Amino acid sequence: MRCRIKFVIGKEIKKKIYAFIFVFVLIIIGFKSNTIIKNIVDKAVVFSTAIISPQNTYFALKEKYVLGEESSDKSDKTDVDININANVNKPDVQKTESENSNSDIEQNDDLELPSNTQSVIEYSEKSSQSNSISGTDKNPQTIPKKYQAQLIEEHFTGKYDGNLFSKKGDVLIRNYTKITDEEIMDILEKPSDIKIKDITKPTVLIYHTHTTESYEKYDSDVYDTRNSWRDTDNTNNMAVVGDVLTSELEKYGINVIHDVTQHDYPSYNGSYDRSRVTMQKYLDKYPEIAITIDIHRDGIVGKNDTVKKPVAIIDGKKYAQLMIVPPCGNEEIKVPKWKENFRFATELSQYIYNENPDILRPMFLSHRFYNLDLRTGSLLFEIGSNGNTLEEATNTAKFIAKPIADYIKSLAEDKSDNIGNNNKDKK
């Protein structure tokens, strides 16, 4: 890998010129060709782009074309998120939490990483499509047979074993690090030191690095394989989930800012770089913000294009299960105060668990960055997966608002209930 990069750099200018011309010609051909040729052209464009910018595309290409499309429960059919700060000493093996599943989806972050890399590399095969890039409008009964694939509904859980699963109180933690169960317990023995002075002032920032992520249109046991699970209409994507959580938190007196910028459109690459700029803008303007939540949906695609959706059924209603992701630092990933984020995530999870234990998937602990270093109260939420419906996701957003608000109030220096709904000192 290193030798190859040195060779590319040695002839950088010439290769970039040739690659640029090649990409331009391929794009022209692609626009005037049938679907099969377009697919070939798409892949050629990506590999040519790797010549233009090898450092920013090599790892994503390896994940997509070497590890394979069923390699990750953090990957859906159209995109692969790779944190290039991943632990290079111990591959992170990611699996679905279901005790009943025999088709767990794995990812091995066994990539050779440059030591000075500090951002997230992403690749999307369909990232720049037009406005309606979500699923089709087809009812499952009308999907042509060749485009049908299985959609499985599961309740994702786990069992404490002191190795892959740790447990603090009632909260299960799926551990993909070299940190031992004993070390985790030592970290979590200390309570979170996050304090909130005044929750009538901007306290929570909700945003979306991948705003255009979307859900299945129908609650069914089949889906249309042509679905990209992306939608630039903010009434059909993650912005809706953020709107619901914002509205519900405000009912409980929490001052929330919700940003609906589409950081992943028109280009999926660089989404985290752009969302970091958005975060920093609000944190500079409202330094009193103590909590930031980046709301996503997971993507779970297995063998034979099988999609899984994590579901909790409460009083006969379906909810998309929530997975909370804190950052976790090491020598390569610089998150100096990640242990504070971890304590915060665990305490918040306990509040949600107390409301109903079925709504949570085990917390995901891996050496990840995700811009969560900007506040010790920064977390990433995965609400459901590409297989869930938007209704199931918004059900969850409504449900978790109360325990989140209760926990925030427990952190407030002024714990009076005379908070009102004075949430307009923003934007």
Average per-residue pLDDT for the chain: 76
Q: What is the DSSP letter of 301?
A: B
Strand partners, 214: 237
| Residue-level pLDDT at 410 | 97
| Residue-level pLDDT at 422 | 43
d(CA 158, CA 224): 30
For helices 35-52 and 54-62, angle between their N-to-C axes, nearest 10 degrees: 130
Helices and strands counted in the chain (H then E): 9, 14
Is the separation of the CB atoms in 102 and 205 below 8 Å? no
Kindly report the pTM of this predicted structure. 0.70
Return the structure tokens found at 402.
Answer: 């109360």
| Closest of 313, 294, 150 to residue 216, by C-alpha | 150
One digit per residue, pLDDT tens: the chain, 427 residues? Answer: 444 434 444 555 665 676 667 756 665 655 555 545 545 544 454 444 444 433 333 333 323 322 222 233 333 333 333 222 222 222 232 333 433 332 232 232 222 222 222 222 222 222 223 333 344 455 777 899 999 999 999 999 999 999 999 999 999 999 999 999 999 999 999 999 999 999 999 999 999 999 999 999 999 999 999 999 999 999 999 999 999 999 999 999 999 999 999 999 999 999 999 999 999 999 999 999 999 999 999 999 989 999 999 999 999 999 999 999 999 998 888 899 999 999 999 999 999 999 999 999 999 999 999 999 999 999 999 999 999 999 999 999 999 999 999 999 999 976 555 444 444 444 4
3-state SS assignment for residue 385: strand
Strand order in 291-298's β-sheet?
256-258, 204-207, 291-298, 378-385, 322-325
For helices 54-62 and 2-10, angle between their N-to-C axes, nearest 10 degrees: 140
Is the separation of the CB atoms in 223 and 147 below 8 Å? no
Q: What is the DSSP letter of 145?
A: G
pLDDT in tens, 271-280: 999 999 999 9
